[in-house]
A and B are shown apart, each in its own frame.
Chain A
Amino acid sequence: MYGFLIAVGVLLLVSIIWMVYRIQTLVSVVKGSDKKIASGSNKINAIMFLLFLVAAGFLFFWYSFKEYENYQLPIASDHGIVTDRLFWITTLVTGIVFIATHLLLFIFPYRYQYKENKRADFFPHNNKLEVIWTAVPALVLTILIVSGWKAWTDITSPAPENAHVVEIMGYQFAWDIRYAGKDNVLGDFDYRLINASNSHGVDFTDKNAFDDFSSPVVVIPKGEPVLFKIRARDVLHSVFAPHFRLKMDAVPGMPTRFWFVANKTTDEMRAEVGNEEFEYEIACTEICGRGHNSMRRVIKVVEPAEYQSWLAEQRPFIEQNPDLIADLPAELKELAEIQISENKK
């Protein structure tokens, strides 16, 4: 019944529109306005452009300023300050061009709408003008590029020697974290070693792996360089930590990396945004299947001292699960066991 009523309503509406349309057409034929080069609608369209300019311009400014606090995520890394400054400088430059060109684009239609007794200017070209508006954008772009290029080179330069190494491995649909441990060197891995008890495929014949450990939360120190070593186990993923302005794809078979310096602890950020629950997050930004939108991992930034004490508390893989070293050659096994017992002290 409900559906029937809707159908009748729609039918009525359509037929009314139809009638209006036919009448309009007939009236315009009678008036002969369809013979004119430009009918009265010309003026209406010209005015519409002006109205659109004013209304859309108002919305643009109003919303951009009103919402700034919302869409501008707080920055928590050193390089993020640089890239955000670049973003806003570029926005300022493009914003000026955006407004200037649109003023012209929408005012011209009103200003130069068709008049029967008028002729358009025959103005096919002007070399001076054309050279100017080739050269000026080229110059402005060069400045923008060079500053972007400098930032990019700094960000992608090799990580400092003392950077804390953290491995992030993406899989459907989560991230696994591995720390390099006391020696700050990650043990080798091989995807063929992956099984239920060794989700990272760590190769424990490599001594560097003895102190490697995992953590449910990515804990990093404030003010010290951190190197994310990024890889994927199945399909492409992408590590995205929006507050750190950090993004890097995780590629199966091709490890990638990204280093940065966090400059606000989680607690400081909580105070800044006035939210006790605030957490830094990692999300996935490369389509990876059904759970693409649920690959969340929390990053916790702490003071360096707190980081050191946290580090000391962590128990390596081989200590939590001694089976991992059960098959090692005797010599290595001994070494591993020594390390375990040292840790326990």
Chain B
Amino acid sequence: MAEASITSHGAVSHGHDDHEHHDSFITKYIFSTDHKMIGKQFLVSGIFWALIGGFLSIVFRLQLGFPDMDLSFLRPIMGGWIDEAGKLDPNFYLALVTMHGTIMVFFVLTAGLSGTFSNFLIPLQIGARDMASGFMNMLSYWFFFLSSVIMFVSLFLENGPAGGGWVVYPPLSALEQAIPGSGLGMTLWLVSMTFFIVSSLLGGINYITTVINLRTKGMSFSRLPLTIWAFFLTAVIGLLSFPVLFAAALLLVFDRSFGTSFYLADIYIAGEALPNTGGSAVLYQHLFWFLGHPEVYIVLLPALGITSEVIATNARKPIFGYQAMIISLLGITVLSFVVWAHHMFVSGLNPFLGSIFMFLTLIIAVPSAVKVFNYLTTLWRGNLIFTPAMLFSIGLVSFFISGGLTGIHLGNSAIDIQLHDTYFVVAHFHLVMGSAAFFGLLAGVYHWFPKMFGRMMDARLGYIHFWLTFIGVYMVFFPMHYIGIAGFPRRYYSWTNFEFSNMYTDLNMFVSAAAIITFVAQFIFIFNFFYSMYRGRVASLNPWRSNTLEWTTPLHPKHGNWPGEIPTVYRWPYDYSKPGAKEDFIPQTIPLSSTPESNLPHEQELVKLEKEIMKEEGEVLVANEVKEK
């Protein structure tokens, strides 16, 4: 009922909106140019991929935790990859690991997170009717879709998908003789990633252009919500680093198919010496990690942005150190480009270069530390409301700390000698990047679901989902630190060939069991998500009593977002619990001149300016009306 009356309201004064037309099913849900629909498309695709990526990890966790288990029951899905004895094929094990990484990093945490929330929130929070180019935005999704289809198809190839690890280092990924996954599976991987890069670039250019050009009146950069700052800088990182991955992939294609030797040299395999000489396998690693490391921040920054917004709103407190947060984000953005070789300390890299990258890497810990302290201070003396989004945000901060601190070990090249490519690294990046970004995604969904679908998700199911997932993630990844210190290498099908690693079967079993429980718990979310979409409680216009612009739109905003004029912005987005104010929040659209009781001294100065601008505007409006008549 409520929803109907509000939307019809919205349509009345819709004169300004040039998109006013009736959408068919295809233009509304499939080839949509509405940023909100594109955001939802990315979200649903991301959820689909997360389930697949999660499932793959469960299969290889079964192998690692219960090596003697009869996996015949998986044969209906996995077919010949489960042999007669019910054992997982070791080559397919490597393919599972590879695809889990590829899917989670690119398809879930890049497309699913950045794609969803940059699209959905940028126009809504800066006060724009849509992205700078709706068409490019649509292309961005459909290139992603194409890339998804190709990657999905590669899962069902006879020789299996790519199997050289998600980093696909040559020569392994270049030579079909080396591993079956380096055949057609690897070709499709490269083609799919090419389309993915196109999608990312189309999206990124759009996000940047939109944030720079389409901010509403009064929305200066110093009044942007931190979400937008994060999305903006993420897009900048992506725009600068993805093309390098494209170059790396292209050269790999040449090496694989056209007989060049960019990465190949002096190889004797399968009884023959290959003609390639002069290439460098380490060159690929440099190119890959030039994207690969910034990619970590592409995944993480949007999550941190979302967390800043959610924590401030639900702590009913301004985010502590707004400027420091922005400077940290900028610092991380710049530094993310000059730390890549810390993935390569023992690759045969010149040790001097190793020292340089060690210094640069540890510097990046400083802005990260500042962010954590600022989150903590935001919670301090707040008035905390534990919505599911808030719980996930606090969970994110916890993962960011736990995973971030082990980065100090790994960034130190002397310590990294032992820890490189062990489970310590697996624990580190799954916490700091994987789980933290994943929690950012979930926090975002819980927080903006009412804006996406006009209904509320069930909070209780959200709590259960949070606690199971939060505890589950720690139970999965924390024990991996011990396994890693003990020296267990990554990407091992089993550890029983070595004396030093022929232990911890109990701990691995525990990890696998925890992983299964955590995975199953995600279905609570899936149910909550789809059920609430149709049957959830109808949301109020501003359910979290938040300050940002998206909550000033109608419950079901049409294409164009605001029925009338786009609102003007008069203040920063974090005026929560301002002393003197009646409510504990003052939306960005409330002029300073109408809140004299709560204005700070320097804001009182701005009131004068504001009044002059409003007066001028009024005159322009009157003049326009006269003209139209």
Interface residues of chain A, those whose CB is within 8 Å of chain B, are 21, 24-25, 34, 37-39, 41-42, 44-46, 48-49, 52, 56, 60, 63-64, 67, 70-73, 80, 82-84, 86-87, 90-91, 93-94, 97-98, 101-102, 104-106, 108-109, 112-115, 118-126, 129-130, 133-134, 137-138, 141, 144-145, 148-149, 151-153, 155-156, 171-172, 191-192, 194, 201, 233-236, 238, 240, 242-243, 245-249, 251-254, 256, 277-279, 281, 283-294, 296
Contact = CB atoms under 8 A, between A and B. Distances in A.
B387 to A, nearest CB: 9
A253 B386 CA distance: 57
Nearest to B531: A21
16 contacts: A41-B459, A44-B463, A49-B394, A83-B418, A119-B316, A125-B322, A138-B363, A144-B408, A145-B359, A149-B413, A149-B414, A153-B351, A252-B265, A285-B420, A288-B178, A292-B491
Nearest to B182: A289
B362 A144 contact: yes
A248 B346 contact: yes
Contact of B383 (A84, A105, A118, A294): A118
Contacts of B280: 253-254
A71 to B, nearest CB: 4
Contacts of A112: 315, 379-384
B422 interface: yes
Contacts of B279: 253
B14 interface: no
A124 to B, nearest CB: 4
A41 B460 contact: yes
B69 interface: no
Contacts of A291: 90
Interface in B373-393: 373-374, 376-377, 379-386, 391
B214 interface: no
B96 interface: no
Contacts of A123: 317-318, 320, 377, 380-381
Interface residues on B, range: 35 or more
B574 interface: yes
Interface of B: 90-91, 94, 164-165, 169, 171-172, 175, 178-179, 264-269, 273, 277-282, 315-324, 346-348, 351, 354-355, 358-359, 362-363, 365-366, 369-370, 372-374, 376-377, 379-386, 391, 394, 397-398, 401-402, 405-406, 408-409, 412-415, 417-422, 458-461, 463, 467, 470-471, 474, 478, 482-483, 485-487, 489-495, 497-501, 503-504, 537, 545, 574, 576-579, 584
Given A125-B321, A247-B346, A279-B499, A56 B474 contact: yes
A289 B397 CA distance: 37
Shortest 9 CB-CB distances between A and B: which pairs? A253-B265, A156-B351, A242-B487, A148-B412, A151-B414, A256-B348, A94-B405, A45-B386, A120-B577
Given A101-B376, A112-B382, A252-B171, A87 B418 contact: yes
Contact of B578 (A48, A122, A134, A149): A122
A116 B490 CA distance: 51
Contacts of A283: 489, 498, 500-501
Contacts of B501: 283
Given A112-B380, A122-B578, A285-B422, 18 more contacts: A46-B386, A104-B379, A105-B401, A108-B382, A109-B384, A109-B394, A120-B315, A121-B577, A129-B377, A141-B365, A149-B359, A152-B358, A234-B178, A235-B178, A238-B421, A287-B94, A292-B94, A296-B497
Contacts of B397: 105
Given A73-B486, A285-B490, A289-B179, A144 B267 contact: no
A130 to B, nearest CB: 5
A254 B171 CA distance: 13
B366 A115 contact: no
A98 B404 CA distance: 10
A67 B171 CA distance: 39
A119 B575 CA distance: 13
A44 B464 CA distance: 12
B274 to A, nearest CB: 9
A7 B316 CA distance: 47
Contact of B385 (A37, A48, A63): A37
A105 B394 contact: yes
Contacts of B398: 102, 105-106
A171 B323 CA distance: 53
A288 B164 CA distance: 7
B587 to A, nearest CB: 16
Nearest to A288: B172
Nearest to B483: A71
Nearest to B367: A134
A108 B376 contact: yes
Given A124-B322, A133-B373, A293 B574 contact: no
Contacts of B537: 34
Nearest to A231: B266
A119 B268 CA distance: 72
A86 B415 contact: yes
B382 A25 contact: no
Given A102-B398, A252-B267, A290-B90, A119 B282 contact: no
Contact of A201 (B268, B379, B470, B578): B268
